[in-house]
C-alpha cells in the first residue's frame, strides 16, 4: 500500500473521505491448490463516508496478473483507482455501499475466478469464503439482491461468469472489457504462443515455465502471450488430475477441436443460453469496452450483450467508448455507482 503520508497532497496522495480496511482471509477453498499458491489472501474493504446501517456490497475483481495491492498504483497524471473510488462516495447523492477488493492472483498470472483442477477453487473462494468473511465482519445486507460483482478484463469475465454460476449469491454485475467471444479474443495469442513455444522452447511448456521463473518476469517479448496461454489452459482445460491441455499443438500448428470446445464452453457468450434464468434475475447488468480493444473485447461485449438480451435479460447499460484495453480505470466508478443505485 502507499508509503507516502496521506497529508502530502496531490499529486502524491490524498486523504480518503472513507476508510480502507485490510484483512487476511484464510480460505478453505484454496487449501491444497494445484499450484501450491497461498491459501491465506489479503482483502481490502473500502467503507464509504457516512456508512450507517446494513449496506449492500460490490465485489471488485482484477484483471490477469492482478494482485490486490495494485489498486494503489498510480499512472502518470491520474488519480489512483482508490482515490477515484473515494471521490465517488464523497458525493452524498451516491448510495452507500461497501466495495470489497478480492485477490485471486496465481503463480501463472490468474484464475479466471473459476474452480479448476489446474489452479484451484477460485469461484468457491469468491462465493463462499470471501462473501462469508465480509458478511461476518461487516454490517451487510446479506442477500443476493444486495451483492454485486464488477471487474475489468479477466475480472469482468469473473463477474459475468460467477453471476451465472451463483445467482443465489450475486444479483448484479458490471463487466469492463471482460473476456468474451473467445475465438476473437484468444486465438491470435494462442497462435503467437504456439510459435514462440516451438521456436524458443522446442515445444515444451515445462521448459518455458522453468525459464520464466529463472529470470525477471516478462523480460522476453514472448513471455506475455505464453504465460496467458498457459494460464487460460489451466483454467479452461485442465483434467481432474491437473494435466493441462492446450488448444494449439506447437509441433503441428493444428487446433485441437476437443480442447478448444472445452474453452468455448466457458465463453460467457456461449454460457448465456444455459443460464438464462440467472441472467434474467439480475438487478443490473453493465457491459462496456473500448472500441480499440487489442483483444477485440468490444466485439465480445457486443456478443455478450446480444446473448443476454436473447436470453430475456435486461442489459441496464451498454456502451462502447473511445479507448483501448488499457488505461480505463476511470470507468470503474461509473459502474460501481450504477450497481450501488440498483441495489439501494
User: What are the counts of helices (DSSP H) followed by strands (DSSP E) for the chain?
Assistant: 12, 10
Query: Cα(183)–Cα(250) distance, rounded to whole angstroms?
Result: 18
Pick one of 3.40.50.9100, 3.40.50.2000, 3.40.190.10, 3.40.50.1820 as the CATH number of 6-180+267-343.
3.40.50.1820
Can you give the pLDDT at residue 309? Answer: 98
* CB-count burial class (<10 Å; 0-12, 13-18, 19+) for 317: middle
Can you give the pLDDT at residue 94? Answer: 98
Evaluate whether 127 touches 134 at the Cβ level (below 8 Å).
Answer: no
Q: Which residues contact 285 (CB under 8 A, 6 or more apart)?
A: 172, 173, 174, 279, 308, 313, 314, 315, 316, 317
Single out the residue of 112, 137, 114, 107 nearest to residue 47, CA to CA.
137
Evaluate whether 134 touches 257 at the Cβ level (below 8 Å).
Answer: no
Q: DSSP strand E in 12-77: where?
A: 19-26, 40-47, 57-61
Helix (H) or strand (E) holding 134: helix 131-137
If you search the block for the grid coordinates 462473501, which residue do you land on?
131
Evaluate whether 182 touches 143 at the Cβ level (below 8 Å).
Answer: no
Query: Cα(20)–Cα(41) distance, rounded to whole angstroms?
Result: 16
Cis status, amide bond into 11, omega within 30 of 0:
yes
Can you give the pLDDT at residue 5? Answer: 82
Can you give the pLDDT at residue 198? Answer: 96
**Residue 92 CB coordination number (10 Å):** 9
Query: Cα(255)–Cα(112) distance, rounded to whole angstroms?
Result: 22
- Tell me the pLDDT tens digit for each residue of 250-290: 999 999 999 999 999 999 999 999 999 999 999 999 999 99
Q: Which residues contact 257 (CB under 8 A, 6 or more apart)?
A: none
pLDDT in tens, the chain (344 residues): 557 887 888 888 888 999 999 999 999 999 999 999 999 999 999 999 999 989 999 999 999 999 999 999 999 999 999 999 999 999 999 999 999 999 999 999 999 999 999 999 999 999 999 999 999 999 999 999 999 999 999 999 999 999 999 999 999 999 999 999 999 999 999 999 999 999 999 999 999 999 999 999 999 999 999 999 999 999 999 999 999 999 999 999 999 999 999 999 999 999 999 999 999 999 999 999 999 999 999 999 999 999 999 999 999 999 999 999 999 999 999 999 999 999 99
Question: In whole angstroms, what separates CA 96 from the centre of its chain?
Answer: 23
Query: Cα(216)–Cα(51) distance, rounded to whole angstroms?
Result: 43
pTM (two decimals): 0.97
Domain residue ranges in the chain: 6-180+267-343, 182-264
Amino acid at each position: 500500500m502507499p508509503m507516502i503520508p496521506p497529508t502530502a497532497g496531490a499529486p502524491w496522495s490524498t486523504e480518503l473521505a472513507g476508510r480502507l480496511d485490510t484483512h487476511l482471509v484464510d480460505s478453505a477453498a484454496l487449501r491444497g491448490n494445484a499450484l501450491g499458491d497461498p491459501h491465506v489472501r489479503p482483502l481490502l474493504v473500502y467503507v464509504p463516508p457516512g456508512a450507517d446501517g446494513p449496506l449492500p456490497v460490490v465485489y471488485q475483481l482484477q484483471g490477469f496478473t492482478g494482485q490486490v495491492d495494485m489498486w494503489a498504483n498510480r499512472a502518470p497524471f491520474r488519480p489512483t483507482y482508490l482515490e477515484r473510488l473515494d471521490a465517488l462516495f464523497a458525493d452524498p447523492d451516491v448510495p452507500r455501499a461497501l466495495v470489497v477488493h478480492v485477490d485471486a492472483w496465481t503463480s501463472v498470472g490468474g484464475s479466471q475466478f473459476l474452480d479448476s483442477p489446474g489452479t484451484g477453487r477460485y469461484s468457491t473462494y469468491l462465493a463462499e469464503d470471501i462473501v462469508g468473511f465480509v458478511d461476518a465482519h461487516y454490517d451487510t445486507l446479506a442477500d443476493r439482491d444486495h451483492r454485486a460483482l464488477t471487474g475489468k478484463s479477466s475480472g469482468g469475465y469473473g463477474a459475468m461468469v460467477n453471476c451465472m454460476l451463483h445467482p443465489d449469491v450475486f444479483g448484479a454485475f458490471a463487466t469492463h472489457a471482460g473476456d468474451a467471444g473467445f475465438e476473437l479474443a484468444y486465438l491470435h495469442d494462442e497462435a503467437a504462443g504456439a510459435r514462440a513455444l516451438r521456436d524458443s522452447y522446442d515445444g515444451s511448456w515445462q521448459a518455458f515455465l522453468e525459464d520464466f521463473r529463472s529470470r525477471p518476469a516478462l523480460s522476453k517479448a514472448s513471455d506475455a502471450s505464453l504465460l496467458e496461454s498457459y494460464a487460460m489452459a489451466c483454467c479452461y482445460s485442465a483434467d481432474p488430475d491437473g494435466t493441462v491441455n492446450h488448444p494449439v499443438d506447437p509441433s503441428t500448428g493444428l487446433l485441437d477441436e476437443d480442447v478448444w470446445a472445452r474453452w468455448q464452453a466457458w465463453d460467457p457468450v456461449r454460457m448465456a443460453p444455459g443460464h438464462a434464468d440467472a441472467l434474467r434475475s439480475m438487478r443490473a447488468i453493465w457491459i462496456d469496452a473500448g472500441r480499440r480493444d487489442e483483444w477485440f473485447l468490444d466485439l465480445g461485449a457486443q456478443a455478450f450483450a446480444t446473448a443476454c438480451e436473447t436470453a430475456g435479460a435486461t442489459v441496464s447499460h451498454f456502451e462502447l467508448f473511445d479507448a483501448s484495453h488499457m488505461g480505463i480505470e476511470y470507468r470503474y466508478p461509473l459502474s460501481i455507482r450504477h450497481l450501488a443505485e440498483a441495489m439501494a
